[in-house]
Every structure is written in structure tokens, then in C-alpha cells.
Amino acid sequence: MLFQIAWRNIWRNKSRSLVVISSIIIGVWAGIFILSFSWGMYKNNIDETVFKQLSHIQIHHPTFIEENDSKFTISNIDTIVGQLQADNRIASISSRVISTGMISSPTTASGVKIYGIDPLSEVRQIALDESVREGAYFNSGKQNEILIGEKLSKKLKIKLKSKVVLTFTNVQSELVSGAFRVGGIYRSKNISLDEVNVYVQQDHLRELLELKPSESNEIAILVKDEELLDAVKSYSRTVVSKGEIEDWKELSPELGMIIESFNMYTYILTGIILLALTFGIINTMLMSVLERIRELGMLMAIGLNKRKIFLMIMLETFYLTLIGSPLGLLIGWLTVMLLGKIGINISMFSEGLASYGFSSMIYPALDSQNYFIIASMCFLTALLSAIYPAYKALQLNPSEAIRKI
């Protein structure tokens, strides 16, 4: 009957109970929304980084990353690429020749990282062709075609078909220059990289650098399934025994930091929501207890022990949570499902976010484990919040409580 009394008690003051239920619904929903939004945001960022920039794995000469000098190459590139390509865990692979240098326009100059690419491979690897906003993606058939970022083009005050000069040192440490014509202007989600990265034909850059045809500076690998990452890394080590093999987390530690800070931000925000929920429930349940002092005194007088009084008040909160949590979960799930499909346009902040590599369209996403964690946290918060009001009820002296008006 205690369960029955507790259930009926919550409907004695419908509006108050609905306020608590609504608070729980909003708490669960807000927790789900914030987590899914944040996860959507960094999942987008991870995908952007992996599929549009780094790939899952990169292989370099061990000294290349430290010295950033084109003379540190991986030899027998065709054999290595062929061997890796034969592995069915690998989705795509591409090799790159890389140099750093200067790009000069008639008006100004800027430091750049020059990627010598095989245009066809990079379509599969980083979908570079999709980022082209003006001009075309290496379709002129000319060796001296260059693809530059929109931001860099503005900085250099150049347009499509403009002539630029790249200056860098070859493997003999001699200064070399090459004239290029802008064949395309691209814009990626990471504006800061658009200002630095330029793409040219791999063979042409190789010639200018005086590298052998079998030499490259970088091999980029996309795996079919992220879970195969470690296995493919191990396999790559057997193929390129002298290469430095790194995955995207090692290549982009700043991404880890951003994710970490987002995690912290998410937990703080969820904590604030739960704290607000805690105070809401404490306040409401305390009101409910203080309103029933005489009744609680009577229950103690007629033989309901304190353990049962405590249980009754906890049950009332339990029921409220039992109604609120699933509704919050349902509304949260529907929100994530809907917004996960149509996305949230945060273009008014995208200028700032894009410089960190974030897209202006966020597609909230959340795995089932997180739904469970949020619901459990809200459930636990609600029950913990009820402890104080229940404890207050236990402090009542039946004879004094009965006399309360």
C-alpha cells in the first residue's frame, strides 16, 4: 500500500508534480542534446580531419617530420603502395611529395607547404576535387597547374589563371623556382590550412626537387574500418620497416586537445543542468514534505516506521523520475534523430569555428550507451535530491507534527 500511497501522493498536487516531471524531461533532453551536439561537432571535425586532410595513417621517413626537408624520402614507393593496396583492409592509398617554400604573386609573397600529388589518388583519398570553388581540378593536362586556397588567393591578390612563382630548396639544398598558373581555387572547412597548403602535380614537383621517380615523402592510408587502424598500422610496419608510421591522433594532437576541452565543457554544462535539477527537486519535494507534516506525524503515530516514511518519499520522487526520464529520453532521441538528419546550421559562428576545422553544419549524434548514462545520471540525481526532504521528514516528532496547522 506504501507504493499506492506514494503514487497517489504525487497526483495530489498535479501542477507541482508536472513541474518536477517537466524539469526531469528538460534535464534529460538537455543532457542528450548537449552531448549529441558536442559529439556531432567533434565527430564532424574528426571526419573532416581524417577524410579531408590527414587520412587514418601516414608514413614518413623518420627524420622528415622533424626536419621538414624533402630529401628525407621513402624509397621504392611503387612497390610499397602496391603491397599496401593489395590489403583488403585498406580503402585507399596515396603518395605525396612535400616541400615548404614561398609563393609569390606580382604584389606579395607568402610561406606555403607544397604538396605534389597524384590528382586521381587524392580524389579518393581526401576528395580534394570537392573543395574546388573556382576553376577546375587539374583538368588542363598542363604540368604547371597549381591549386591554391581561397584565403591564400585573397592574400596574394590573385585570381584564376594568375601566374605565381614557387621558390624552395631541392634535395641538393639549392634554391629552385618554378612558375605555375592557378588552375583552381579551393575552400576547405579548415581556413587556416587553406592559407598554407597548395597542390601541384607530383611528377613536376619531383623533378624540381630532383627526387628519383621512386621516392616520395608521404604515404597516406585510409582504412575501411576505424577499428582496423591498429592492425593496419602493424601491417604497414612490416611493409615499410624504416618508416615512421603514425595515426591521425598522433599526427594531430591538437585535435585531441580540442576534443578533451569539449568533453570537459560538456561535462561541466551537464553538471550545471543536473545541479539545477537537483535544486528544483529538493525545493519541490521539501515543499511537499513540509505541507504534509501533520499527515506524516499521524503516519508515524499509527505505526509507520521511519524507514517506511523515508521509502515513501523516495518512492514519490522515483515515480516522478520514472515518468520524466523515459519522456526526456524519447524527446531527446527524437531531437537527435531529426537534427541528425537535417543538421544544425551554425553559420553565424562558422567563421571562427572554421579556423579550428569545424563545419558550419552540425549533425548531432549519440550512441545508445550515452543515452543510458544520461538517463541514469538524471535518475540518480533525482533520487539523491530526494534524500534531504526525506531526511527532513524523519526529523519530525509525531506529537509536534500532529499539532502543526
**Contacting residues toward another protein, per CB under 8 A:** 1, 4-5, 8-9, 12, 294-295, 298-306, 397-399, 402-403
| Residue closer to another protein, measured from CB, 114 or 299 | 299
| Residue closer to another protein, measured from CB, 19 or 394 | 394
Residue pair 28/329 in contact by the 8 Å Cβ criterion: yes
In the complex, minimum distance from the CB of residue 401 to another protein, in angstroms, rounded to a whole number: 9
169, containing H or E segment: strand 163-169
| Residue closer to another protein, measured from CB, 12 or 159 | 12
Which amino acid belongs to residue 360?
S
Q: Find cell 553565424 and name the residue.
A: 348
In the complex, minimum distance from the CB of residue 20 to another protein, in angstroms, rounded to a whole number: 17
Burial code (b: 16+ CB inside 10 Å, e: under 16) for 328-346 equals bbebbbebbeebbeebeee
In the complex, minimum distance from the CB of residue 5 to another protein, in angstroms, rounded to a whole number: 6
In the complex, minimum distance from the CB of residue 323 to another protein, in angstroms, rounded to a whole number: 17
In the complex, minimum distance from the CB of residue 291 to another protein, in angstroms, rounded to a whole number: 11
| Residue closer to another protein, measured from CB, 79 or 397 | 397
In the complex, minimum distance from the CB of residue 403 to another protein, in angstroms, rounded to a whole number: 8
Q: Which of 372, 374, 382 is nearest to 323 (CA)?
A: 382
Residue pair 50/56 in contact by the 8 Å Cβ criterion: yes
CB atoms within 10 A of CB 210: 14
100 backbone dihedrals φ, ψ, rounded to 5°: -115, 145
In the complex, minimum distance from the CB of residue 19 to another protein, in angstroms, rounded to a whole number: 19
136 backbone dihedrals φ, ψ, rounded to 5°: -135, 170
Residue pair 149/185 in contact by the 8 Å Cβ criterion: yes
Q: How far, in Å, CA of 36 to CA of 38, rounded?
A: 5
Q: Which of 23, 15, 8 is nearest to 385 (CA)?
A: 23
* Region of residue 304 (phi > 0: left; psi between -120 and 50: alpha; otherwise: beta): beta
| Residue closer to another protein, measured from CB, 6 or 41 | 6
| Residue closer to another protein, measured from CB, 132 or 402 | 402
| Tally of CA atoms within 13 A in the half-sphere of 401 that contains its CB | 21
In the complex, minimum distance from the CB of residue 376 to another protein, in angstroms, rounded to a whole number: 30
117, containing H or E segment: strand 109-117
Task: Give the distance, in angstroms, between the CA of residue 21 and the centroid of all CA atoms in the same chain.
Answer: 32
- The answer for residues whose C-beta is within 8 angstroms of residue 329's C-beta and 6 or more apart is 28, 32, 371, 374, 375
In the complex, minimum distance from the CB of residue 391 to another protein, in angstroms, rounded to a whole number: 15
- 165: helix, strand or coil: strand
| Residue closer to another protein, measured from CB, 307 or 341 | 307
| Residue closer to another protein, measured from CB, 140 or 305 | 305
| Residue closer to another protein, measured from CB, 305 or 345 | 305
Q: How far, in Å, CA of 280 to CA of 276, rounded?
A: 6
31 backbone dihedrals φ, ψ, rounded to 5°: -60, -45
In the complex, minimum distance from the CB of residue 307 to another protein, in angstroms, rounded to a whole number: 8
Strands 90-104 and 163-169: antiparallel
| Residue closer to another protein, measured from CB, 5 or 346 | 5
